[in-house]
């Protein structure tokens, strides 16, 4: 049977304990402290259990770890002596103030039992409701440390308390590398952000995950070995969201903030280095891949210079592919005629000519890359409204040409050129342009431009048949189409002259 120790150092905790207990405004924060102590002890598994103890008729809340445990000397000099800690100046430990265990009394337990073992010793520290303790040598072997709190069962309902325990541990300990379970359920969550594109980086003692964001309420978080030190909204670096975990970070005595010291500045310097050197390449890779269809990701290009990425790096990034599978940057496209068309055809092949600074990007009008380029870089120069026409000689247009040379004078249509359009949407039946070849359909014609006839349009064949029967009427059809392209203020006057001319020819 275990016997109470007669060590002269066993004593009741002093009145200072009351002051320290009161600083824990959230009683369940004691779980954070116990998990922290378990991690310091090298535990890879921490089991938190809550159940009714039928023998003691209480709720039993236990935290068990597989760490190195405590000897009698550690118990006497650290666990039961306030502000005494061998963790001082030890960068492998989280606690620095020797007060973490005191937090268990904020739950006002009827009793606290600590079973621990190390170096062949096994001990039980038994605290009563008045916080007086006895140190008892145990006859059986104990591995690690288990802290159990006996709480009056009329104070809590198990489902509600269990939910609060899970929520508390999920907030403070969800990123710990040790496995933490609550009644067998893991509370671990990935060390990542909610952003689509993020960069993870790790080196001895420090890890981080970072992303640029268009949000004005950016999330940030600081951690030590996965334990939450501080989280919030409103990042210290605007438009940057991050989680930064370092064993060198220290929390304040009240456990509600992070100390801004030299180690903090080193961590922030590392964060800035990763976001300027690694994040841009990750974003560029995503834009060239499946993420390229997400408009929000293209908006991040505008954020990069705001978080320290040189604008020249953004402009030189190869992001836009053409039909030859060549990538182009904003810098390489500047000074070129830039067109876009999703599919490849004769038109695209004829237009695309990099040596002549004509580039056809393999994109459709709805692609967010086109919107971003048009909005930020090329403005009116970026267009899908282009076409190519080839002259088609040998067409039977003698009668139609003769009629147009006489009747088309008022409209400036003295010549007709039969062409075949290379355009995925097909060309119009009649169009006045300066010459056949590469054209932009949205260019305004002049009155002296020849009329181009689309020989593949259904109207053309009907026009040939009409010209064989009555060239003046066929000419009138052509000129009526051209008339509709003129300003409305000119149409009435020109229309009157056209009608008179046709009637004269017919007579």
Q: Which of these ranges, 11-25, 245-259, 380-394, has the smallest mean pLDDT? A: 11-25
The dihedral built from the CA positions of residue 176, 179, 184 and 189, taken in this order, carries a sign that is positive
Supply the mean pLDDT for the chain: 82
Give mean pLDDT, residues 158-176. Answer: 95
* Residue pLDDT, tens place only, 261-306: 999 999 999 999 999 999 999 999 999 998 899 999 999 999 999 9
Please calculate the CA angle 186-189-193 and round it to the nearest 5 degrees.
Answer: 170
Q: Annotate 182-242 with DSSP letters as a single string.
A: ETTEE----S--SSSS-EEEEETTEEEEEEE-S-SS-EEEEEETTEEEEEEES-SSTTEEE
For 33, the enclosing helix (H) or strand (E) is: helix 30-40
Both structure tokens of 259: 């100390």
The domain ranges of the chain are 3-186, 199-279, 318-381, 387-506
Does 307 have pLDDT greater than 90? yes
Classify burial at 506, counting beta carbons within 10 Å of its beta carbon; exposed 0-12, middle 13-18, buried 19 or more.
exposed
Residues whose CB falls within 8 Å of the CB of residue 161, separated by 6 or more in sequence, listed in order: 50, 59, 61
334 falls in which pLDDT band (50, 70, 90)? confident
Give me the pLDDT at residue 406, please: 63
Q: Which CATH fold would you assign to the domain 3-186?
A: Heat Shock Protein 90 (3.30.565)
Taking alpha carbons only, the member of 324, 326, 325, 305 closest to residue 315 is 305
**Alpha-carbon gap, residue 95 to 362, rounded angstroms:** 58
Does 485 have pLDDT greater than 80? no
Does 487 have pLDDT greater than 80? no
Does 166 have pLDDT greater than 90? yes
Return the top range by mean pLDDT from 204-208, 393-397, 401-405: 204-208
**Alpha-carbon gap, residue 70 to 65, rounded angstroms:** 12
Does 441 have pLDDT greater than 90? no
Does 165 have pLDDT greater than 80? yes
24, 105 Cβ separation under 8 angstroms: no
Determine phi and psi for 223, rounding to 5 degrees: -145, 160
Give mean pLDDT, residues 464-484. Answer: 76
* Residue pLDDT, tens place only, 119-154: 899 999 998 888 888 889 999 999 999 999 999 989
Give mean pLDDT, residues 199-204. Answer: 97
Give me the pLDDT at residue 499, please: 60
Q: Which of these ranges, 87-101, 164-178, 306-320, 378-392, has the smallest mean pLDDT? A: 87-101
Give mean pLDDT, residues 33-57. Answer: 93
**Alpha-carbon gap, residue 451 to 427, rounded angstroms:** 13
**Alpha-carbon gap, residue 484 to 414, rounded angstroms:** 17
Give me the pLDDT at residue 457, please: 81
Q: CA distances (Å), 369 to each of 58, 320, 328, 347, in order?
A: 64, 8, 12, 22
The dihedral built from the CA positions of residue 93, 94, 99 and 101, taken in this order, carries a sign that is negative
Give me the pLDDT at residue 419, please: 79
Give me the pLDDT at residue 242, please: 98
What is the maximal distance between C-alpha atoms in the chain?
137
256 falls in which pLDDT band (50, 70, 90)? confident
**Alpha-carbon gap, residue 159 to 11, rounded angstroms:** 37
Q: What is the 3-state secondary structure (H, E, C) of 365-388?
A: CCCHHHHHHHHHHHHHHCECCCEE
**Alpha-carbon gap, residue 56 to 126, rounded angstroms:** 15
For residues 140 and 452, the model is more confident at 140
Give mean pLDDT, residues 497-505. Answer: 59
**Alpha-carbon gap, residue 372 to 386, rounded angstroms:** 20
Give me the pLDDT at residue 44, please: 94
88 falls in which pLDDT band (50, 70, 90)? low
* Residue pLDDT, tens place only, 348-380: 888 888 998 889 899 887 899 988 887 776 654
Give mean pLDDT, residues 474-489. Answer: 72
Determine phi and psi for 388, rounding to 5 degrees: -135, 135
Residues whose CB falls within 8 Å of the CB of residue 63, separated by 6 or more in sequence, listed in order: 31, 34, 35, 38, 46, 47, 48, 146, 147, 148
Does 335 have pLDDT greater than 80? yes
Give me the pLDDT at residue 380, please: 41
For residues 482 and 198, the model is more confident at 198
Question: In a 3-state reduction of DSSP, which class is residue 109?
Answer: coil
162 falls in which pLDDT band (50, 70, 90)? very high
**Alpha-carbon gap, residue 92 to 113, rounded angstroms:** 27
Question: Terminus-to-terminus CA distance in the chain, angstroms?
Answer: 134
Give me the pLDDT at residue 82, please: 55
């Amino acid at each position: 049977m275990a016997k109470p120790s007669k060590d002269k150092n066993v004593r009741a905790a002093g009145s200072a304990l009351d002051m320290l207990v009161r600083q824990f405004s959230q009683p369940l924060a004691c779980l954070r402290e116990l998990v922290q102590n378990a991690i310091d002890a090298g535990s890879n598994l921490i089991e938190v259990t809550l159940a009714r103890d039928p023998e003691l008729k209480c709720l039993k809340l236990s935290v068990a770890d597989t760490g190195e445990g405590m000897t009698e000397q550690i118990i006497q000099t650290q666990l039961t002596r306030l502000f005494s800690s061998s963790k001082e100046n030890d960068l492998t430990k989280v606690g620095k103030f020797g007060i973490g265990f005191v937090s268990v009394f904020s739950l006002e337990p009827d009793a606290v039992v600590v079973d621990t073992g190390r170096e062949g010793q096994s001990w039980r520290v038994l605290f009563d409701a008045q916080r007086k303790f006895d140190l008892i040598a145990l006859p059986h072997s104990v591995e690690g440390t288990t802290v159990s709190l006996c709480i009056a069962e009329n104070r809590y309902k198990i489902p509600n308390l269990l939910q609060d325990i899970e929520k508390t541990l999920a907030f403070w300990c969800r990123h710990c590398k040790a496995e933490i379970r609550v009644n067998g359920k893991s509370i671990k969550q990935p060390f990542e952000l909610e952003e689509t594109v993020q960069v993870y980086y790790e080196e001895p003692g420090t890890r981080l995950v970072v992303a640029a964001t268009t949000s004005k309420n950016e999330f940030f978080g600081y951690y030590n070995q996965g334990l939450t030190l501080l989280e919030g909204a409103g990042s210290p670096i605007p438009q940057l969201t991050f989680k930064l975990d370092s064993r060198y970070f220290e929390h304040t005595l009240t456990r509600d903030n992070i100390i801004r010291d030299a180690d903090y500045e080193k961590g922030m310097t590392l964060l800035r280095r990763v976001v300027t050197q690694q994040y841009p390449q990750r974003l560029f890779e995503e834009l060239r891949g499946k993420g390229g269809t997400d408009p929000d990701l293209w908006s991040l290009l505008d954020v990069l210079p705001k978080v320290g990425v040189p604008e020249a790096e953004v402009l030189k990034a190869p992001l836009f592919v053409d039909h030859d599978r060549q990538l182009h940057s904003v810098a390489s496209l500047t000074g070129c005629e830039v067109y876009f068309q999703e599919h490849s055809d004769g038109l695209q092949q004829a237009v695309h000519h990099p040596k002549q600074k004509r580039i056809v990007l393999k994109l459709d009008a709805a692609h967010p890359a086109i919107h971003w380029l048009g909005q930020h870089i090329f403005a009116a120069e970026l267009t899908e409204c282009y076409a190519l026409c080839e002259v088609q000689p040998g067409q039977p247009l003698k009668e139609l040409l003769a009629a147009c040379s006489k009747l088309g004078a008022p409209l400036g249509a003295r010549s007709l050129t039969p062409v075949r359009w290379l355009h995925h949407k097909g060309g119009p039946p009649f169009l006045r342009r300066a010459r056949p070849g590469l054209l932009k359909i949205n260019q305004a014609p002049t009155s002296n431009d020849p009329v181009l006839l689309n020989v593949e349009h259904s109207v053309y064949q009907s026009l040939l048949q009409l010209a064989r029967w009555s060239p003046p009427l066929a000419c009138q059809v052509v000129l009526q189409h051209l008339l509709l392209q003129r300003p409305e203020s000119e149409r009435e006057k020109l229309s009157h002259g056209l009608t008179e001319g046709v009637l004269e020819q017919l007579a």
